[in-house]
Structure 1
Amino acid sequence: MKSKKIEFTGSLGDTLSAKLDLPDKEQKGTVLFAHCFTCSKNLRVMSNITSILAELGFATFRFDFTGLGESDGDFANTNFSSNVDDLVAAYKYLEAEGNAPTILAGHSLGGAAVLQAAHHMDSVKAVATIAAPAHPAHVRENFSMHLDEIEEKGEAEVTLAGRKFTIKKQFLDDLKEARMSDFIKKLDRALMIFHSPLDNTVGIDNASMIFNAAKHPKSFVSLDEAGHLLSDDKDSKYVGRVLATWAEKYI
């Protein structure tokens, strides 16, 4: 797999860091991939999935959302809507480069984001979610002990996965405004849902809600004993293989 480092302008005007992973053989299509909440494009699960996709002929464009990883910007000024808009900005960059994505994929909150962003991407034929919440407000549970402080003071510093982040009230308000069911019902693209029945972060009931709201063609793949972050390499590589095989039907 060959990788190119890329920079493009995000939805809030900041420079975002990206990687374009390319197959060594003829390219079948391009996957635009959204990482999980407060994660980065360099998370091992993403590297594993993109390496398998490249092996099977797919290029993958992955990037750090505004204020995360190697991207510029202040995370405190972002929200779910800005993540969706960053995805659209990434799509427009690829489109301008003559490499418009045909597949859209997202992990956890990134999965919820791709379900909304797909409506702004004409070239996308299929969408895949991995351990995605049926509603982005699910992420409130990550800082539930600070909700009163955020409401009263307008912001609070929270620790997520050992790192400190400032969460502002506007972030919570934006989550409340996100309406997922209509976006899922009107997706008008093939949908693949990956989820583990043992996911203790985003329960399997979220996969059921997404599946029931979506119209055909739709598919569900159980990730058996996988954790939410697919920390075991065999789980993320399995997702990559199934995603590539499934996606070929729609490109």
Structure 2
Amino acid sequence: MYPFFLQGESGQRFCIFHAPESRPLGAVLYFHPFAEEMNKSRRMAALQARSLSKAGYAVLQIDLSGCGDSDGDFADATWEAWLNDGMLGYRWLRQQTDAPLYLWGLRSGCLLAASFSERLQEKANFVFWQPVVGGKQHWQQFMRLKLAGEIATGGGKEITETMKRSLESGQNVEIAGYTVSPQLVDGLRKAELMPKGPVGKVIWLEVSSREEASLAPASLPFIEQWKAAGAAVDALVVPGPAFWQTAEIEDAPTLIDATQASIGLAA
């Protein structure tokens, strides 16, 4: 494991590179989720990255602008800046290896990975963990954190309208301790989990605490669109906790095992 900083246009980006012991079977670039989900997921992302490295894959984790240990404030982050950070990490990773590329995303990181692939000149494989299929719905869910404390007093609708007016006038809004810019909201709301460039394998994994769970209904039409674009899609549900949102930090070892098995078949 090799921690370091990459110099971007607006400061340094903290990275962790997990190098395999031999020639890499694949090059994996990780896109982390939005806001507090990133913090909740750090352990699982680290466990998976180490596991992939032991299996022969080169894995790069990068903290996007305003997130984690990277420079910048979350309030200044934009969707475009995060895509630029992805290119920064991609170029560094490609200097290390020319092995087949895997873009690995968790939650809204899947949206970033798909959007980012449009900028590439090569075919990408994807690993989607509990993918967010629509940024608009994801933003609405995030806004509910702000509304939760206001509903009891009947101020929920007023708060919603106030936030909308603030964003429309170019002002930042604060939700659950995160100050979010209109530019970031606009990019997130427009994002959908659609194929944007040449695509190879898609490993689509969802987690459920219920027995005999099936894929989320909202996922099915998007999976079909990836198949229609020529992707070989391996989609399944594995048992485990929703570690990206649980009160305590939790592990989902079956998700790691399923990822290892699927990415091994795709190699």
Q: Does 1:7 align with 2:22?
A: no
Structure 1 gaps of 5+ residues are none
1:70-120 Cα offsets, whole Å, 9 max, x none, are 000121122333322321221122234555761111000001111111222
1:156 pairs, out of 173, 176, 179, with 173
Does structure 1 residue 80 correspond to structure 2 residue 102?
no
Flag the 1:208–1:35 CA change in 2: closer, same or farther, 3 A.
same
Equivalent residue letter for 1:184: P
Tell me which of 217, 242, 248 is aligned to 1:227: 242
Q: CA deviation at 1:124?
A: 4.5
Distance in 1 separating the partners of 2:119 and 2:265:
22
Equivalent position of 1:193 in the other structure: 204
Distance 2:15 2:258 in 1: 21
Q: Is the 8 A contact 1:105 1:114 kept in 2?
A: yes
1:228 Cα deviation from its structure 2 partner:
5.2
Residues of 1 paired with 2:40 and 2:28: CA distance?
A: 13
Alignment partner, residue 143 of structure 2? 143
Say if 2:130 is the partner of 1:131.
yes
Residue of structure 2 in register with 1:16 after alignment: 13
| Alignment correspondent of 1:114 | 113
Question: C-alpha separation between the residues in 1 aligned to 2:162 and 2:188?
Answer: 17
Specify the SS of the correspondent of 2:21: coil
Give the TM-score taking structure 2 as reference length: 0.77
Contact 2:124/2:198, CA 8 A, preserved across alignment: no
Structure 1: how far apart are the matches of 2:256 and 2:184? Answer: 33
The Cα shift of 1:235 comes to 3.1
* TM-score, normalization by structure 1: 0.81
Q: 1:172 aligns with which of 185, 193, 199?
A: 185
Which segments of 5 or more consecutive residues in structure 2 lack a partner in the other structure?
148-158
Judged with a 3 Å threshold, the aligned counterparts in structure 2 of structure 1 residues 20 and 225 are, in CA distance, closer, same or farther, namely: closer
Could you give the per-residue CA deviations for residues 110-150 of structure 1, whole angstroms, max 9, x where no partner exists? 01111111222334531111111111223211123254332
Q: Which runs of 4+ in 1 moved over 6 A?
A: none
Alpha carbons 1:35, 1:41 under 8 Å: kept? no
Residue 244 of structure 1 aligns with an amino acid whose one-letter code is I
When Rg is computed on C-alpha atoms for both structures, the one with the higher figure is 2
Q: Tell me the percent identity.
A: 17
Match of 2:30 among 28, 33, 40: 33
Separation (CA, whole Å) in 2 of partners of 1:232 and 1:42:
9
The equivalent of 2:266 in structure 1 is: 247
In 2, the alpha carbon distance for the partners of 1:37 and 1:243 equals 25
* Cα distance in structure 2, aligned partners of 1:114 and 1:211: 15
Q: Displacement, 1:65?
A: 0.8
Give yes or no for contact 1:4–1:21 (8 Å, CA) kept in 2.
Answer: yes
What letter is aligned with 1:238? Answer: D
For each residue in 1:36-55, what CA deviation from the matched residue of structure 2 results, as whole angstroms up to 9, or x when unmatched? 11215980010111111012
Q: SS in structure 2 opposite 1:85?
A: helix
Distance in 1 (CA, whole Å) between partners of 2:28 and 2:183 is 31
Which position in structure 2 is the counterpart of 1:53? Answer: 52
Distance 1:113 1:190 in 2: 17
Deviation, structure 1 residue 198: 5.3
- Looking at structure 2, the residues matched to 172 and 132 of structure 1 have their Cα atoms a distance apart, in angstroms, of 18
